[in-house]
Amino acid sequence: MEEAASAGARVSMGKGLLAAAFLLGVAGSAALAAPAAHKANASGGRLATRIVARSVSAPQVERLVWRGADVDGDGQADFANPTGHDTRKTDPYGCGEFGASRDGGARRHEGVDFMAEAEQPLVAPISGYVSKIGFAYPGDNVLKFVEITNPALRYTARVFYIDPQVELGQAVHVGQPIGVHHTLEQKYPGGMTDHVHLEIIDNRGARIDATRLITARHEPASEAAKG
Ligand SMILES: [Zn+2]
């Protein structure tokens, strides 16, 4: 009985070392580290678990999780990131943050750009009703925007570069799909990061920085996957 137990322990240790060797091989790969962690934990190898814990805490397996502000205090987010992706950084055409310089400093960027993939679903940044569907640029009947107005919260949001799947007057809920992204590749072929331009307009009619209401924090990828 004693012998059987120690043989079992050896086998288990052997498995742990194998898992550890495998994990050391992929430790540099963020994409592989998290799924490998689950496998190693399931096999129960203690050595493997320790190594996994170290690789999971590495910065490259963290991801951005976006949260909308709860401005009416009902415990629910009142804002959502329309693409779910990070903000557009600097590219050959400029930067995506609110207030960034445009036209050589002649005007300022009145929205926030969130990176987007061609034809990805876009969600409503606020609840309300569709108060306008329009064209983003004069003389261009391809690139559109959807405007959503929320009279109770007294905010209006405009989502640009969307192929709408909603109609004028339709009620929408924050986070609900309202269309798909229309790529900017044809409009700006010189290397602009594809994105959705989001404008949030407050009760005074002023455009405000959407990242004051839609904020990101870093979470370990494994934690983010749970919730
Ligand atoms: Zn923009």
pLDDT in tens, 17-70: 444 444 444 444 444 444 443 443 444 444 444 444 555 555 568 888 999 999
CA 13 to centroid of ligand 1, rounded, Å: 55
Taking only the tens place, the pLDDT of each residue in 77-117 is 999 999 999 999 999 999 999 999 999 999 999 999 999 99
Are 80 and 124 in contact by the 8 Å Cβ rule? The answer is yes
CA 208 to centroid of ligand 1, rounded, Å: 13
CA 114 to centroid of ligand 1, rounded, Å: 8
Backbone angles phi, psi at 6, to 5 degrees: -70, -30
CA 178 to centroid of ligand 1, rounded, Å: 19
Q: Where are the alpha helices (DSSP H) in the chain?
A: 2-26, 30-43, 46-56, 221-226
CATH T-level assignment (fold) for domain 66-217 = Glucose Permease (Domain IIA) (2.70.70)
Helix and strand numbers (H, E) in the chain are 4, 14
CA 56 to centroid of ligand 1, rounded, Å: 34
Taking only the tens place, the pLDDT of each residue in 169-179 is 999 999 999 99
Q: Which residue has the tokens 């876009």?
A: 122
Backbone angles phi, psi at 205, to 5 degrees: 85, 10
CA 192 to centroid of ligand 1, rounded, Å: 11
CA 47 to centroid of ligand 1, rounded, Å: 49
What pTM was computed for the model? 0.72
CA 12 to centroid of ligand 1, rounded, Å: 56
CA 159 to centroid of ligand 1, rounded, Å: 10
Neighbours of 121 (CB within 10 A): 16
- The predicted pLDDT at position 225 comes to 52
Element (H, E) at 188: none
CB within 8 A of 210, min separation 6: which ones? 79, 98, 111, 112, 125, 198, 199, 200
Taking only the tens place, the pLDDT of each residue in 117-131 is 999 999 999 999 999
CA 223 to centroid of ligand 1, rounded, Å: 31
Mean pLDDT of 6-20: 40
Q: Which residue has the tokens 């809920």?
A: 173
CA 118 to centroid of ligand 1, rounded, Å: 16
- The predicted pLDDT at position 226 comes to 52
196 or 46, greater pLDDT: 196
- The predicted pLDDT at position 145 comes to 98
Is pLDDT of 202 > 50?
A: yes
CA 74 to centroid of ligand 1, rounded, Å: 30
Backbone angles phi, psi at 36, to 5 degrees: -60, -35
Q: HEC string of 135-154?
A: ECCCCCCCCEEEEEEECCCC
- The predicted pLDDT at position 185 comes to 97
